[in-house]
Amino acid sequence: MSAVIETVELTKTFGTKTVVDNLSFQVGRGEVLGFLGPNGAGKSTTMKMITGFLTPSSGTAIVEGFDVARDPIAVKTAIGYLPEGAPAYPDMTARGFLGFVAGIRGFDGAERRKRVDAAMAMTELAEVAEQPIDTLSKGFKRRVGLAQALLHNPPVLILDEPTDGLDPNQKFGVRKLITEMAAEKSIIISTHILEEVDAVCSRAMIIAGGKILVDGTPTELAARSCKGSLDEVFREVTGNA
C-alpha cells in the first residue's frame, strides 16, 4: 500500500510551546484515520499544516506525491478540507457559497451547477439552498462546510470534527457518507467522540502533546484496555499526558 498522505517529522512550535512534535505517519487509499486526543493535542494544527494553511516549523507533509512546501497548489487541489468550526462566508447563500467554491475548484457553467447540486444532495442541503449561511443552524452550517469539501470529489479528505454540533440523526448521516466514500479515498477525521472512531475509522491514532501515543485499528486499541473499550484506552493513555 502506497501512502497518499504522508507527514515527515512534522513539527510546529508556537513561541516556546511545541504543539506538534516530530509527527511522522502515513495514510493509504481506503483508509479512514481517526485523530483522537484531548483539546490542544495538536490535531487541528497537524491538519492545518497538511492542508497548507500553516507552515511547519520543520518537517513537511506530502499529499499524492506533492510536497506541501514546494507544490502547495497541487496539494490543495487534491484535498477537500473542512476546517475547525466549519467557517464560510456568512452573507452568502448556501448555493452561492458552494458555487464560488466550485468556481475556484475549476468548474464552470453546467458542470458547476451539477457539482453544487450533487454536493447539496449528498449533504441534504436542498431545503436551505437559498438562505444566507448566517441564518442557518449549527448543523446546517457544518453540512455546508462538508459539501464544500466534497464538491470536487477529492482523493483526500481532511475533516476537522465533521459531526460536531449535529444531532444524532445528522451524525449518522455524515458517518454513513464517510463510510460510503472511504473505499476510494484517504480520509483523516478528528473527533472527540470515541464511538465515531468505532463507526467510521479503519485506524485510530491517539495523540497528545503533539506526539502519537497509540496507533492501531479501533479493535486493537480497545483490546489494550482490560475493560475493552476505547473510552478506557483514551483515559489511560492521555490521563497523565
The residues pairing with 216 across neighbouring beta strands, listed in sequence order, are 204
CB of 76 to another protein, least distance (A): 4
Distance CA 228, CA 241 (A): 21
Residues ≥6 apart with Cβ < 8 Å to 196: 34, 163, 171, 175, 189
> What is the H or E stretch that residue 213 is in?
strand 211-216
By beta-carbon proximity to another protein, the closer residue of 104 and 223 is 104
CB of 74 to another protein, least distance (A): 8
Burial class (CB in 10 A: 0-12, 13-18, 19+), 222: buried
The residue from 2, 39, 73, 184 that contacts another protein (CB under 8 A) is 73
CB of 229 to another protein, least distance (A): 34
CB of 200 to another protein, least distance (A): 22
**Interface segment toward another protein; rule CB under 8 A; list 33-41, 77-85, 175-183, 198-206:** 77-85
**Interface segment toward another protein; rule CB under 8 A; list 1-9, 21-29, 88-96, 223-231:** 88-96
Q: Which residue has the cell 442557518?
A: 136
The residue from 8, 54, 118, 122 that contacts another protein (CB under 8 A) is 54
Q: Which residue has the cell 486499541?
A: 221
The residue from 18, 22, 77, 225 that contacts another protein (CB under 8 A) is 77
Q: CB atoms < 10 A from the CB of 179, how many?
A: 15
Residues 110-169 that bind another protein (CB under 8 A): 132, 148
By the rule CB under 8 A, 51 interacts with another protein: yes
By beta-carbon proximity to another protein, the closer residue of 40 and 87 is 87
Cell of 4: 497518499
By beta-carbon proximity to another protein, the closer residue of 48 and 143 is 48
Quick check: 220 and 230 in contact, CB under 8 A?
Answer: no
Quick check: 238 and 213 in contact, CB under 8 A?
Answer: yes
By beta-carbon proximity to another protein, the closer residue of 48 and 185 is 48
- Four-residue CA torsion sign, 90, 161, 182, 179: negative
Distance CA 178, CA 240 (A): 32
Binding to another protein by CB under 8 A, coded x per residue (else -) over 10-29, reads: ----x---------------
Interacting residue ranges for another protein, rule: CB under 8 A: 14, 48, 51-55, 57, 73, 76-77, 79, 81, 83-85, 87-92, 96, 100-101, 103-106, 132, 148
